Amino acid sequence: MGKKHGKYLEPEYKIFYSMKSRCYNPKCNYYNIYGGRGIQVCDRWLDIENGFKNFYNDMGPRPGKEYSIDRINNGGDYVPENCRWATLEEQANNKRTNRILEFNDKKQTATQWVKETGIPFKTLTARLDVMGWSIEKSLTTPVIIKNKLINFQGESKTLQEWSKYLNITFSTLQSRIYHYNWPIDKVLSTPIRGK
C-alpha cells in the first residue's frame, strides 16, 4: 500500500502507519491507551485505495523532524479537524493526565506554569498538595534558593546565614516566607516572641 504512492520511506507515512497501528493492532505497545480505549481513525484515512493520500492532503507535510501527529482533544479520534502537527513539548502539554491550573484567566498545565514562573515543579506540587496553598499563592510566592543571597539592611547573606546571624531558626524563616507569605524585610526584622 505504501509503495504505491511513493511515500513509504517518508516520515509522514511512518507516522500514518504508526497511528493506525496504535488504534487497530492489539500487538502494538500503545494499543491499550489508543484503540483499547476506543480511539479510532476516520474512514477517510482508512480508505484502502487513498487512505494515506487523504491523510497527506488533509495534514500536509510534517513541518520539521521534531513534529508528530497530535490529537487536539486527546479523548477524540484521529480526524482532520482534531489533528495537528505538534512538537513533543506541545504534545506533553496536551496529555489527559496533566494537571491544569487556572490563574489570572489563564489555564496552563503545571509544567507550563513552572516554565513561566521559574518555581520548581516539586515546590509547586508541595505547595498545592502538602501545604494546601491556593493556586494564586502557590504561583506568586517567590522561591528562596538555598544559596541565593538576600539583601537586607545593606548586607547580603543566604537564608541559612541570616538564620545564624539573627538567631532565628531556619525553619521559622522559611515558614514566614512560604506559609505566611511575608516580605523579606518583615521576615528578617521580626524578632521571635519571648526573646
* pLDDT band of 97, cuts 50, 70, 90: low
> For position 75, what pLDDT does the model report?
85
- Looking at the predicted structure, is the pLDDT value of residue 94 above 90? no
For residues 157-173, give the mean pLDDT: 89
> For position 2, what pLDDT does the model report?
44
The cell for 25 is 493492532
The cell for 68 is 508528530
* 34-70 pLDDT tens trace: 999 999 999 999 999 999 999 999 999 999 999 999 9
Strand partners, 87: 67
> For position 57, what pLDDT does the model report?
95
pTM over 0.95: no
Who has greater pLDDT, 194 or 178?
178
> Radius of gyration of the chain from Cα atoms?
26
Task: Give the least confident one: 49-63, 89-103, 176-190.
Answer: 89-103
> For position 41, what pLDDT does the model report?
97
- Looking at the predicted structure, is the pLDDT value of residue 122 above 70? yes
φ/ψ of 12, rounded to 5, equals -60, -40
Task: Give the least confident one: 1-15, 50-64, 86-100, 168-182.
Answer: 1-15
Beta-carbon contacts of residue 57 (< 8 Å; ≥ 6 apart): none
Give the chain's mean pLDDT: 86
- DSSP collapsed to 3 states, the chain: CCHHHCCCCCHHHHHHHHHHHHHHCCCCCCHHHCHHHCCCECHHHHCCCCHHHHHHHHHCCCCCCCEEEEECCCCCCECHHHEEEEEHHHHHCCCCCCCEEEECCEEEEHHHHHHHHCCCHHHHHHHHHHCCCCHHHHHHCCCCCCCCCEEECCEEECHHHHHHHHCCCHHHHHHHHHCCCCCHHHHHHCCCCCC
> For position 183, what pLDDT does the model report?
85
